[in-house]
Amino acid sequence: MEHGFTWFSLLPFIADDPERQLIFTTIFIAAVLFIISAKVFNSIKKSPNPLIPPKKLSFQNFFELVIQATVNIMKDIIGHHAEKYLPLIGSLFVFILFCNLLGLIPGFLPPTSNLYTNGACAIIVFLYYNYQGFKEHGIKYLKHFAGPLIYLAPLMFVIEIISHLFRPFSLMVRLYGNISGDHAVLAIFSGLVPLVVPVIFLVLGLMVALIQAFVFATLSTVYIGLAVSHEH
C-alpha cells in the first residue's frame, strides 16, 4: 500500500525503497526495546530490594505489569511449567505491541502491516511449538497427528498436517490484515476530515494494536499448550 510521507524517508540510502524502510523500522523497534529492557534489567539489579516497586512511573512498572499479566494468562492456558515458555511469548507480545503502536504516530508505518515481518514471527512460533512438542513427548509427539482411531490415521495425518501448516499462515494474515486495514481506515479518514474525527480512529487503532498483540501471543500460547499437553 502506498504511504505518504514517512520520517524514515528523510534518511539517506533507505529513502526511496519502502521495504528497506520497513526493515529499518523493525530494527529501530528492536533496538529501542533492547535499550529499554537493558535499562530495566540494570535498575532491578542495582536496587537493594527488587521486590519494592520504584517510586515513580517507569518502564520497570510497565514490564512488571506485562510480564505478570502474560504469566497469569499462560498459566491459565498451559498449566504449571508455563514460565518455561515466557521468553518467547513475552518478547513476541512486547515486540508486536510496540510495532503496532508505532503505526499510531503520524509519519510512521507499522512494521506489522507487512506480511514478511508477521511471517517471520509466525514461522518462529510454528518451529518453536513443534520443537517443544518433540522435546516433551519424544517421538510419541507424532501421535498428536494420528487422531483417536488407528485405522483413520492415514486420513487424519493429512488433515492434521494441513491444519498445522495453516496455523502460522493464519497468524500471519490475521496480524497483517488487522493492522494494515486499521492503518488504511485511519489514513482514509484523516484524508477526508483532517481535524478531530481521526481521534476516534486513533482510539480504535490503540485497541486494535493491543488486542492483536494479545491475540498473537495468546494463540502462540495455545499452540504450545496443545503441543506439550499430556492426555489423561
Partner 1 sequence: MRKWRTAVMVIGLMLLISSPVFAEEGAAGAADGSMSKGLIGLGAGLAIGLAAFGGGLGQGRAAGSSLEGIARNPGAADKMFVPYILGLAFIESLVLYAFVIAFLLRTKM
Binding interface with partner 1 (CB under 8 A): 73, 76-77, 159, 162-163, 166, 170, 173-174, 176-178, 181, 211, 214-215, 218-219, 222
Q: How far is the CB of 213 from partner 1 (least distance, A)?
A: 12
Residue partners of 189: CB distance under 8 A and separation at least 6:
197, 198, 201
Query: In angstroms, what CA-CA distances link 62 with 37, 212, 223?
Result: 11, 18, 26
The number of CA neighbours under 13 Å toward the Cβ of 40 is 17
Question: Closer CB to partner 1, residue 30 or residue 73?
Answer: 73
Smallest separation (angstroms) from partner 1 to the CB of 171 = 9
Alpha helices in 14-58 (DSSP H): 18-46
Residue placing its CB nearer to partner 1 in the complex, 30 or 115: 115
Give the span between the Cα atoms of 171 and 212, in whole angstroms: 10
Q: How far is the CB of 116 from partner 1 (least distance, A)?
A: 14
Distant-in-sequence, close-in-space partners of 6: CB < 8 Å, separation ≥ 6 = 21, 107, 108, 109
What are residue 58's phi and psi, to 5 degrees? -145, 180
Torsion of CA 76, 82, 88, 89, to 10 degrees: 10
14 vs 96, which CB is nearer to partner 1? 96
Of 127 and 159, nearer to partner 1 (C-beta) is: 159
Using the minimum distance from each CB to partner 1, give the nearer residue, 18 or 177: 177
65 within 8 A of 94, measured Cβ to Cβ: no
Identity of the residue, 71 or 222, whose beta carbon is nearer to partner 1 in the bound complex: 222
**Distance of closest approach, residue 166 Cβ to partner 1, in angstroms:** 5
**DSSP state letter for 142:** G
CB of 184 to partner 1, least distance (A): 10
Least CB distance to partner 1 at residue 97 (A): 15
